[in-house]
Structure 1
């Protein structure tokens, strides 16, 4: 643990919730599909699965997964983002907390799927990435899935350069006991090839 501010807070000052929600509302109103991540995860799940949306932001994905019949908990460190989630879906569970200290939030482990979309991993506080991956893996049931989406170049990140490589991320996953099952270049499932600017990865915790 470094005690450093996460990269997201450095970019936004912790006040991005309402504007972030408006951005996706505009996309939806213009005809864009804003539920690609939820559809991707739903295809991996059995009905009524337990899902942890780690770095849930305004709750867009978790709300959609709940609409599809899953039991979703959202965790985020940004109060402005969670304020939107709680307003839009007050019946769902939304927790304020640091993903590097996920085990202090009172969650019952054994999630079928843990999701870290929206560049959650690259926007963590520097030096906490490995600890976060370890915490996310620990939240899974045996056979459960960790699904992540992350930009690998400046064109796919709100940063001038990527702070995390895919090789580093895979190494942290392996150290946490996770196995890579599949990887795509988009949430629509387009084939991943080396050099892609974005990676959607599905790791699993092997069944005992």
Structure 2
């Protein structure tokens, strides 16, 4: 049986769902706070309900927490075993089995959240294409909020041989190419610890409400009418 090109599927064999769900259930039973990512996205949206895409949603932990906060959630992942757990936990949410390069929504969203090390786990060669797809689905003013590890210390499993960790600079380049601008970056999901070049980053990028040309011509610099 050939090894999948995607690092996550290559490492887990596409069977990790039950184990992940059980692990998070145990953490919740121990009183661990599992909703920090959802609270951050909710705060970034001004505490108002909106349309949110949970990209690389896994077992649905973040998406379910966002739904409890009043958001309309779509979750997308390419691991059927993870989505089985998400559907069992919250069948009312729209969970989609899809490679993000092929994602097509019928409406734009206010935010995309990628909280589960999505960036290093994308199929090699698809990173820029995935960011372009996510950016395309954002409304003007919409946010891409992504947190991920940048080295083996900050990702809880080893990538397959020959698969390097994609860099933060490459992420920023992909976002810029997709028309997104960096709003803020921290080392935590609370949005409090400044990012100092460490191995984990949470980045918030925005889709501008104006075109780059419109953004250059500010009110005081607009050409006089003839």
TM-score class, shorter:
over 0.9
Is the 2:185–2:195 Cα contact (8 Å) retained in structure 1? no
* TM-score between both structures, scaled by the size of structure 2: 0.86
Indicate yes or no: 2:212 matched with 1:207.
no
Is the 1:58–1:85 Cα contact (8 Å) retained in structure 2? yes
1:192 to partner: Cα distance: 3.0
Secondary structure of the equivalent of 1:194?
Answer: coil
Once residues 60 and 198 of structure 1 are traced to their aligned partners in structure 2, the CA distance between those partners, rounded to angstroms, is: 20
Once residues 36 and 141 of structure 2 are traced to their aligned partners in structure 1, the CA distance between those partners, rounded to angstroms, is: 23
Secondary structure of the equivalent of 1:61?
Answer: helix
Once residues 41 and 89 of structure 1 are traced to their aligned partners in structure 2, the CA distance between those partners, rounded to angstroms, is: 19
Once residues 188 and 195 of structure 1 are traced to their aligned partners in structure 2, the CA distance between those partners, rounded to angstroms, is: 17
Residue 93 of structure 1: aligned partner: 94
Which of 174, 184, 187 is matched with 1:185 structurally? 187
Secondary structure of the equivalent of 1:43?
Answer: helix
Is the 2:195–2:201 Cα contact (8 Å) retained in structure 1? no
Residue 36 of structure 2: aligned partner: 36
Is the 1:35–1:61 Cα contact (8 Å) retained in structure 2? yes
1:177 to partner: Cα distance: 0.1
Is the 1:146–1:202 Cα contact (8 Å) retained in structure 2? yes
What per-residue deviation string (whole Å, max 9, x for no partner) do you get for residues 130-163 of structure 1?
A: 1000000001000000000110121111236852
Once residues 145 and 43 of structure 2 are traced to their aligned partners in structure 1, the CA distance between those partners, rounded to angstroms, is: 12
Q: Which runs of 5+ in 2 are unaligned?
A: 211-226
Secondary structure of the equivalent of 2:44?
Answer: coil
Residue 135 of structure 2: aligned partner: 137
Q: Which runs of 5+ in 1 are unaligned?
A: none
What per-residue deviation string (whole Å, max 9, x for no partner) do you get for residues 89-122 of structure 1?
A: 111101110001113xxx1232000111110111
Structure index of larger Rg: 2
Residue 223 of structure 2: aligned partner: none
Residue 23 of structure 1: aligned partner: 23
Secondary structure of the equivalent of 1:191?
Answer: coil
What per-residue deviation string (whole Å, max 9, x for no partner) do you get for residues 10-48 of structure 1?
A: 110000001001111111111211111111111111422
Once residues 164 and 27 of structure 2 are traced to their aligned partners in structure 1, the CA distance between those partners, rounded to angstroms, is: 25
Secondary structure of the equivalent of 2:73?
Answer: strand
Is the 2:150–2:167 Cα contact (8 Å) retained in structure 1? yes
